[in-house]
Chains A and B, each alone.
Chain A
Amino acid sequence: MISSLQLGERLAAARKRRKLTQADFAAKLGVARTTVVAMEKGERRPTSGEMVRAAEILSLSMNELLREHGVVGDVAPRFRMGPVAGVETAEAAAAVERVRKMAVRYAELERLHGIERSVGRLGMLEMYRATAAGAKVDPRLSGREAALTVRSVLGLGDAPALGLDERFEVEAGVRIFQPQLGRSVAGLFLWSDELGPCIAVNRDHPHERRRWSLAHELGHFLRDREAGDIFPASGHTRSDPSEVFADAFAAEFLLPQNGISKQVADRQRANGGRFTPPDIVALAHVYEVSFEAMTRRLEELGAIPKGTFERLLAHRFRPKEAQEKLGLIRAKSPIATLPQRYVTLALQAYAEELISEGDLAEYLETDRVEARGVYRAACHQPVGNNGEILELSLGEDLLRFGGEAAQ
């Protein structure tokens, strides 16, 4: 059972999220304000009847208030963001709350398994602070420098930065989600001591756009993590140093100057000195960015004249059609809202009876019957051709095979 102090902290956090004063909450609960003060300080544990009413008032389940592995995960005090140009305020608030909840569940799953957030191989990313290193440096330069540092840590050289979600997840402890974030939000970044860094990119956006949003939010993580960020789907202002940094980081991280320059030179050599729109399409495909992002980056690097993108559009160049003709359409693959590691932790927790079927459904953001299907698919492996099924034990610790810890 959690302590009265922990319970008090959870009650206080939930009350504040509901924007209730202690007096409001006390009135609804039918007790004196001083009683609420005592409850929140852990000096008086609510009675069972008060607990039932408190949960109703705070729109929480009682288990959320009482469970031992519960995580408060409050980001509100750190998320001091005012209205963002181009983003609907209600949509932004809903997106932040959605991601906060996913991150809280993720942290709960880790707690259930006794996993503590620790510095992995890419832990230096968490230590890296672009502001401390270069408060007076042009944010464009420091963004580029940060990208070079991260690329170096990842050992990427000049190569495209591909398939990095899992590495950031496992080695740097960044929680990455891909939920629907609404029409006006491309991505968001939030951080708290309890949850660590959390990034969400809008699953309704194309693969290339999601990669850009992810890189942009990584930039915020490296520069100004306490502030949080909401990345508008369109027309966001680029004058704020923090945004300039994040954009410069994304550009150099996804489209490294050296790598791009070499690719352009190679293509020019192969084409007798020419560099054509299909070359941009092909490069965009290699680096998994949009045609627009690649064209603008090439303009920025001086590889093609400024204004090329607008000129091509004016000449009715259609990147999609060019991609089709060149056979460069990316196969559509299912987009997972939740990280693979999160799903695995949830399935293992269910296998070990640390959570119930209803919990599993909630963690997987689905209903019970579908959760059963996900579990079955994860632990039932067909063997041979006669329909025989091998049942895997998802909770088994292979390092403790035979009852002895592996050395």
Chain B
Amino acid sequence: MKSRVLVVDACCLLNLLATGREVELAIALGAVFVSSAQARAETRFLCGPPDPDDEEQRLTKTPVNLAPLLDAGRLDVRVLGEDAADALVHCANHLRDADASAVALAATLVVPLVSDDGKVQKVAHKLYPELVVLSTLQLVREAAGRAGIDGEPLRELAKNLHERGNFDPPRRDPERVWFEKLLRRPNDD
């Protein structure tokens, strides 16, 4: 079966890694995530547990680990070629190179772009109105449904995304309410 190709920007790649279940999600979606080399370079840290010696219990930073995704063949990091130069320059008028390269890659490959960044989404819509733009939460919800992840494991995944990725969904995210509900304990309601 042909894999579903999804271009992820740095913001989304970080979020997927923060879930701690990125490979499982990719498999459930039947997807290969494609990232530009520039976006990959900006995907550097997640929040780690506090240093036990730190009196203020500040969170530490943990370097990201892409090896599980790469080893599973679920992440393809690409350097944009000459064929994408026009698109790249077109996008770089409005976006930093890491973000521009993600939009240019999606536009060149004609595949959906996954981003949670308001500015990236806005520019992508403006420059490529036909481009499908998804959010990490849309992917997570779809993948969780397919893989049968629910209840406490799903809440744990959302909590990881929120805490390890410092992630708060943008106001416009269609799955924002779903995510916020997930984060609340069952007896909070």
Give chain A's interface residues, CB within 8 Å of chain B. 1-2, 48-49, 51-52, 55, 61-63, 66-68, 353-359, 361-362, 367-370, 372-373, 376, 380
Contact = CB atoms under 8 A, between A and B. Distances in A.
A52 B89 contact: yes
Interface residues on B, range: 20 to 34
Interface stretch (B44-52, B65-73, B135-143): B44-52
A234 B2 CA distance: 67
Contacts of A356: 11, 95-96, 99, 117-120
7 contacts: A52-B85, A66-B89, A358-B10, A358-B11, A358-B42, A362-B96, A370-B61
Contacts of A357: 10-11, 117, 119
B80 to A, nearest CB: 9
Interface stretch (B19-27, B29-37, B106-114, B160-168): B160-168
Contact of B165 (A2, A55, A369): A369
Interface string B71-101: 0000000000010011011001111111110
Interface of B: 10-11, 14, 42-47, 59, 61, 82, 85-86, 88-89, 92-100, 117-120, 122, 165-168
B94 A67 contact: yes
Contacts of B97: 55, 61-63
A49 B82 contact: yes
Contact of A48 (B45, B88, B94, B119): B88
Contact of B11 (A49, A55, A66, A368): A368
Given A353-B118, A356-B96, A368-B14, 8 more contacts: A48-B85, A49-B85, A61-B96, A63-B97, A354-B119, A358-B10, A358-B42, A369-B44
Contacts of A61: 92, 96-97
A61 B117 CA distance: 20
Nearest to B90: A48
Interface of A is mostly: helix
Contacts of A51: 85, 89, 92
Contacts of A380: 168
Given A52-B85, A356-B119, A358-B10, A66 B93 contact: yes
A195 B95 CA distance: 23
B13 to A, nearest CB: 10
A63 B93 CA distance: 6
A369 B96 contact: no
A367 B85 contact: no
B47 A369 contact: yes
B176 to A, nearest CB: 11
A355 B88 contact: no
A1 to B, nearest CB: 5
Contacts of A67: 93-94
A369 to B, nearest CB: 5
A361 B99 CA distance: 13
Contacts of B45: 367-370
A137 B38 CA distance: 57
A96 B44 CA distance: 28
B2 to A, nearest CB: 31
Nearest to A379: B168
Contact of A63 (B96, B117, B120): B96
Given A63-B100, A358-B99, A362-B96, A372 B167 contact: yes
A369 B166 contact: yes
B96 A358 contact: yes
Contacts of A355: 119
A368 B10 contact: yes
Contacts of B167: 372
